[in-house]
A and B are shown apart, each in its own frame.
Chain A
């Protein structure tokens, strides 16, 4: 059965530092896609970055990057040079290639960035 687990409930960091959050997934499919989304205080959910399982290189978009460790079924999100606006809940999600279109979400990690 597919499952996505985010064990860190909340993280607090100072502005301009780097924050790393973990996500572990379970899947029987050999091909899958991993996503990170950000939910702001207003409730808006924004797509941040995606990792395709067949790609060896870690995805990077702006100040977001991923640490994809396939043997450990792990996909960490790294945010560098954090800003106050990065304070949000971050969700990890997975879609299996053979699993239809459904996204399976983790429970989220709340990040608080202080000045």
Chain B
């Protein structure tokens, strides 16, 4: 077993501000992900990383940067926060093997509010 930790839990920013969200996992998983969830909607992929220093764009990557500093951590930066933006950012991790087939496990989320 393992856990995924996301910091901060809540993030309040100003319009135009650069904001960074952090994620740590101790599953020893190879792949990590960032998703965005808007109220009442499903999750949409922003970025993922299959190994340290690797980055792959998802459908929602515009307006975001990501960084995989080491195997256990994955950061997401909102490059310029949009006024009245409100969303939950979820980090996930997975490993590929015949048993797990890349099943993703999620962190508790960071709730973003831009004033």
> Which residues of A are interface residues toward B (Cβ below 8 A)?
4, 33, 35, 37, 42-47, 50, 52, 91, 93, 95, 100-103, 105-108
Residue with the greatest number of chain A CB neighbours at <10 A, chosen from B42, B102, B106, B109: B42
Main secondary structure of the interface of A (DSSP, over half): strand
B102, A33: Cβ atoms closer than 8 Å? yes
Contact sample, A vs B, 30 pairs, CB 8 Å cutoff: A33-B101, A33-B102, A35-B103, A37-B106, A43-B88, A43-B108, A43-B109, A44-B106, A45-B90, A45-B106, A45-B109, A47-B103, A47-B106, A50-B101, A50-B103, A52-B101, A93-B43, A95-B102, A100-B48, A101-B50, A102-B48, A102-B58, A103-B33, A103-B45, A103-B104, A105-B42, A105-B43, A105-B44, A107-B41, A108-B42
Expressed in whole angstroms, the minimum distance between the Cβ of A105 and any Cβ of chain B is 4
With known contacts A102-B48, A102-B58, A91–B109 Cβ distance under 8 A: no
| Interchain CB contact under 8 A, A101 and B101 | no
Check: B105 CB closer than 8 A to any chain A CB: yes
Q: Total A-B residue pairs with C-beta atoms closer than 8 Å?
A: 56
Q: Are B56 and A100 in contact (CB under 8 A)?
A: yes
Q: Is B94 an interface residue (CB 8 A)?
A: yes
Name B49-96 residues within 8 Å CB distance of A.
50, 56, 58, 88, 90, 94
